[in-house]
Structure formats: structure tokens, C-alpha cells
Amino acid sequence: MKNSDWKAVLHFIGPLLMAEGILMALCLIPAWHFADGTAPQTALCSAVTFAVGAFLHFRFRHFRNIKDRRMSYLLVVLLWIVLSLFATLPFLASGATHSFTYAWFEAMSGFSTCGATIFPDVAALPASILLWRSMMQWFGGFGIVLLVLALTPKLGINKYALYTAEASGADNAGTGAVRAVVTVRRTLTVYLGMTLFFILALLAAGMQAWDAVNLTFCNISSGGFAPASDSIASLTPLQQYILAGAMFFSGVNFTLLYLLFTFRWRKMKHKFDELNSYLFLCIVAVAFVVVFLHTNSGLPWSDAFRVGTVQTISALTTTGSVVADYTLWPVPVTFLLLILAICGGMAGSTSGGLKTMRVLILFRNARAILRNRLHPHIVNPVRLNGKPVTGHISNNVMVIFIVFGGTLMLGVMGLMLCGVSPTEAIGASVGCLTGYGPGLGASGGFGSYAHFSFPALWYCSFLMLMGRLECMTLIILLLPRFWKR
């Protein structure tokens, strides 16, 4: 890869660092308002980040083209790593934690909208840090790449390569510069609109502005952080339901939401397949969980319904907000929650996991194969949204499925090697890779990852990155073939 390509990469990272710096500066507001004493440190971090970003952007302003396709993969990964690196600064500077590992874990968890936290006592953190966490999730949820796409008309890199690098899979956002920009604009509009809406809704439901902003940021991005140690358990039922709504919508394809909110319902009809699966999963899972909780845990219907619905939606959309300590629930229910997290939300939303679209394709593919064996002469294509899914796409989905599963297994084993108990390893592996967040055992429910060993934490951070970048992007970087001339 050419030297100029590397410089172009740095050039692109610049503006995003600057944006990050600006976000950090926004955290000065709570620092002043709550007078938590971190104002000078926050200002310093913000200035440093912004300065570095400006420097990179300015210094390499002549390198605007990436000629090598492989560089786009590298760009995405580097972007994520660099942004997370600078995101650790507020944690370290404000004294919230003194260990770089911890700061890195929290930063990665924030940007990848995982929601696994390293702080057992969240409420004791300074206000600016609390906002920073929520900010990271909000920012990360939207997807930094979408922002890059918005900038691409000027930059001229291979947009399709970049997009596939970040959201590989059978998404129908399409190719072409115009369509990409349109998608970005729509997504951004929906995202901002929903954020505003849910903040207002929470305010109307009696929540303080501070909590409303933080919680909305964390939930609309399928993140899972919260400004309290017990996540969302202490809120009023109405507030919990509103947040569940936010989570639910965060798991829906944003283009679909745009069409919904702008009343172009006829256009929506073509994209219903995945939505149907999403709804179906939601309803069936919620029904099962609620009934099981009522019959096996003896919770009254109202409680079971509230807790079951909210936690199930939280799991399916891989948000990770915890409404009750689900580690105390019957094993089948916890098992189901993990499976839901693996399934994930719809493609083109902020949630993680495998994405419902892929699961749907896998099932339809299997069904088609079965039918093919029974009636070998019938032409029987797999259809999604009325369009046939070629064998090529099916195989690609299958590959991602296998890589995902393999990474999960390796995650469990690796964590066990780092000294984590088997149950917790399974929970943490699923939690970090899918972006759900909390796992099982002491790191699940209202707990934190603080008791994990350092190697385990690094491994979890790695899993978070893998999950966010949909595995393949990272794996390809690990191949020696990638680096050959």
C-alpha cells in the first residue's frame, strides 16, 4: 500500500477527531452545571483531540484519494481504534479511572454501542463523564461511516467499498454516490428526530432533563449505558415503557422508519419481510418470557409484563438496558435472551448481533434446500422482499454466520483461558460480540466487568470491535494475504 494512501487515511480521520473534540467540549456543560470539578480536564481533552484532528486534516490535505481497495477496510478499523483511543482521555484525565485498560474498555463499549460497563458504581462518576458515555454511544450508534459517506463527494474514495466494510451483508442501500448520500441524510434525520421525540416524551413522563437526555442517547443508539448503577430499574413504569419504545425503534431499519414517518407507506410495503420477522420475534419472545416469568417466578402479571417486555426488547435490539436482574430469572428465559441478542435487530439499524435479515435469509435458504430435495424440478428461489436472493448472497450470509459463531466460541474459550468462569464467559462473549452489553453472572444484570482480569478485558474490547465491524472486516486484516503486495 502506498504511502499516499496512508496519508489519505490520516486525512480522513482528521475531521472525525475534530467532531469528537467538539462532542467532548459539549461535556463541559454538565461539568459547569453540576460543578463536578472536571471542567479543566474536560476542556483539555477536548482541545487536544480537536487539535490533533485539525492537524491531521490540515497536514495531509493534499492526499484525498485512496487508490487501494484494501485501504478502505483499514480505514474503518483505524478510525474506530483512533477514536476510541482519544475517547479514553476524559476517563483518565478526570480521574474516573486510572487504568488505561479500564478506560479503553469503557470507550470501546461506548463507541460500539455495546453497553458493558467497567464501573460498578455509575452514579458516583462525575457528570461530564456520564454525559461523555452517553455521547459516545449516541455518536457511535449513528455510525461514523455514515458521516464519512456524507463527506465522500469531496473525497472520491470507493464508497461502496467503505460501506460494505462497515455494514457488510445483504443490505439494499445500494451503490452509487447519490443513493448513499440520500440514505445518510434520511438516516440522520430519523435519528435526530427520534432523539428529540424521546427526550420530550421522557420529560413529559416526569423525568429530569439530565436523565432524559442521557437515557435517550443511550437507548436510541441501542447502546445500554445509563447514568445510574441499576440501569433503568428505578424508573417509573411509564418511563420504562417509553424507553422500550425507543429501543424498539432503534432496532428497525432507519430507511423504513423514514418512510413511515414521512407517510410514504406505499413504498414501505416492499420492505416488509424483515420487519415481519422482527415483529414476529418480538411478539413471540415477549409472550414466552412474560408467561414464563409469571408461572415460574411468581411475578404478578403487571410486573411480569413490564419487566418481560422491556428486557426482551432490550435483548432483541442488543441495547442492554437492564430493567430487572435477569440473571435471577429461570434459565430458559436467560437463554432465550441471549439467543435474541445473537439474532439482533434489523439490518440498517443501530442494533448489533447477526441482524434479523441474515437470520431470515438463513431460514429461507434452509427451507428452499429442503423443498429442493423433495421436489427437485421446481424452480424455487429464495425471496426476500419480493426480490430473489442469489445463492451468492446466501453463501455470504452463511459465511458471516459461521464467522460470528466461530468468534463466539473462540470468545468463550479465550475468556475462560483468561480466568473467567464458564457461565460468565458465555455471557460476556455474547454480550460483547452482539453489542448487548451485560452478560451472565456477576457481569450480568446490574453488575459490571470490573472483576475481569486485564487480558479478559482486552479480549472483550476486541470482541466489541469485531461485533461492530461485523467480524469480516477485522478478520481480513489478520490474514497475511492482505498485506502482501
For residue 394, state whether it binds another protein (rule: CB under 8 A): yes
**What gap in Å lies between CA 408 and CA 352, rounded to an integer?**
14
DSSP structural state of residue 383: E
For residue 399, state whether it binds another protein (rule: CB under 8 A): yes
Candidates 58, 272, 280, 335; binder of another protein (CB under 8 A) is 335
Candidates 48, 228, 416, 450; binder of another protein (CB under 8 A) is 416
Site string for another protein, 424-463 (x = CB under 8 A): --x-------------------------------------
Give the binding range for another protein (CB under 8 A) out of 41-49, 205-213, 267-275, 363-371: 363-371
What interhelical angle do 69-93 and 100-111 show, nearest 10?
120
For residue 280, state whether it binds another protein (rule: CB under 8 A): no
Candidates 33, 67, 269, 375; binder of another protein (CB under 8 A) is 375
- Please check whether residue 326 is in contact with residue 333, taking contact to mean a CB–CB distance below 8 angstroms: yes
- Residue 480 Cβ vs another protein, minimum distance, rounded to whole Å: 11
Non-local CB neighbours of 190 within 8 Å, separated by 6+ positions: 254, 257, 258, 261
For the record, the C-alpha cell of 324 comes out as: 430487572
For the record, the C-alpha cell of 179 comes out as: 443513493
For residue 69, state whether it binds another protein (rule: CB under 8 A): yes
Residue whose C-alpha cell reads 437526555 in the numeric block: 213
Other residues' Cβ atoms within 10 Å of the Cβ of residue 442? 20
- Residue 424 Cβ vs another protein, minimum distance, rounded to whole Å: 11
Residue 147 burial (C-beta neighbours within 10 Å; 0-12, 13-18, 19+): middle
- Residue 434 Cβ vs another protein, minimum distance, rounded to whole Å: 15
Candidates 46, 84, 240, 334; binder of another protein (CB under 8 A) is 334
Complex with another protein: residue 234 or 395, whichever CB lies closer: 395
Q: What are phi and psi of 208, to 5 degrees?
A: -70, 150
Candidates 33, 422, 453, 454; binder of another protein (CB under 8 A) is 422
**What gap in Å lies between CA 232 and CA 226, rounded to an integer?**
7
Complex with another protein: residue 285 or 465, whichever CB lies closer: 285
Give the binding range for another protein (CB under 8 A) out of 195-203, 214-222, 262-270, 421-429: 421-429
* Secondary structure of residue 225 in the 3-state scheme: coil
For residue 328, state whether it binds another protein (rule: CB under 8 A): no
Instruction: Name the helix (H) or strand (E) containing 126.
Output: none
Q: Hey, which residues between 70 and 99 contact another protein (CB under 8 A)?
A: 70
Non-local CB neighbours of 113 within 8 Å, separated by 6+ positions: 137, 140, 141, 221, 222, 223, 224, 350, 352, 435, 468
Give the binding range for another protein (CB under 8 A) out of 40-48, 84-92, 249-257, 414-422: 414-422
Q: Name the residue type at position 176.
A: G
- Residue 327 Cβ vs another protein, minimum distance, rounded to whole Å: 12
Give the binding range for another protein (CB under 8 A) out of 40-48, 248-256, 263-271, 474-482: 474-482
Complex with another protein: residue 28 or 161, whichever CB lies closer: 161
Dihedral sign computed on CA atoms, order 152, 155, 160, 165: negative
Residue whose C-alpha cell reads 496512508 in the numeric block: 6
For residue 405, state whether it binds another protein (rule: CB under 8 A): yes
Complex with another protein: residue 237 or 330, whichever CB lies closer: 330
Q: Considering only CA atoms, which of 425, 418, 432 is closest in space to residue 471?
A: 432
For residue 370, state whether it binds another protein (rule: CB under 8 A): yes
Q: How far is CA 10 from CA 3, 19, 155, 336, 390, in A?
A: 11, 15, 13, 43, 37
Helix (H), strand (E), coil (C) string for 298-324: CCCHHHHHHHHHHHHHHHHCCCCCCCC
* Secondary structure of residue 37 in the 3-state scheme: coil
For residue 381, state whether it binds another protein (rule: CB under 8 A): no
Give the binding range for another protein (CB under 8 A) out of 33-41, 90-98, 396-404, 431-439: 396-404
For residue 417, state whether it binds another protein (rule: CB under 8 A): yes
Candidates 43, 205, 260, 398; binder of another protein (CB under 8 A) is 398
Q: Considering only CA atoms, which of 398, 347, 342, 340 is closest in space to residue 369?
A: 398
Candidates 371, 383, 386, 453; binder of another protein (CB under 8 A) is 371
* Residues in contact with another protein by the rule CB under 8 A: 69-70, 331-332, 334-336, 339, 362, 365-366, 369-371, 373-376, 391, 394-396, 398-399, 401-403, 405, 409, 413, 416-417, 422-423, 426, 472, 475-476, 479, 481-482
